[in-house]
Amino acid sequence: MRLAQLAGIAVTAVVVTGVNLEIGWAMALAVLAGALTTFLVSLTELGRRG
């Protein structure tokens, strides 16, 4: 599975669980998932260049 697919699964999980969470928790989880995805993609790109 590619990193982009895993990121999509993580974001989908946040959205699905966000239905039952307060908006504050849902927003925090979504931001955290996005930040983690950005970090992992940047590490992958850095590894390809180096």
Per-residue pLDDT tens over the stretch 10-36:
777 777 776 677 878 878 877 887 888
The stretches of 1-50 forming alpha helices (DSSP H) are 3-18, 23-49
Q: How many domains, in total, are found in the chain? A: 1
User: Domain range for residue 39?
Assistant: 3-49
Query: Residue 8: what pLDDT?
Result: 75
pTM of the predicted model as reported, rounded to 2 decimal places: 0.58
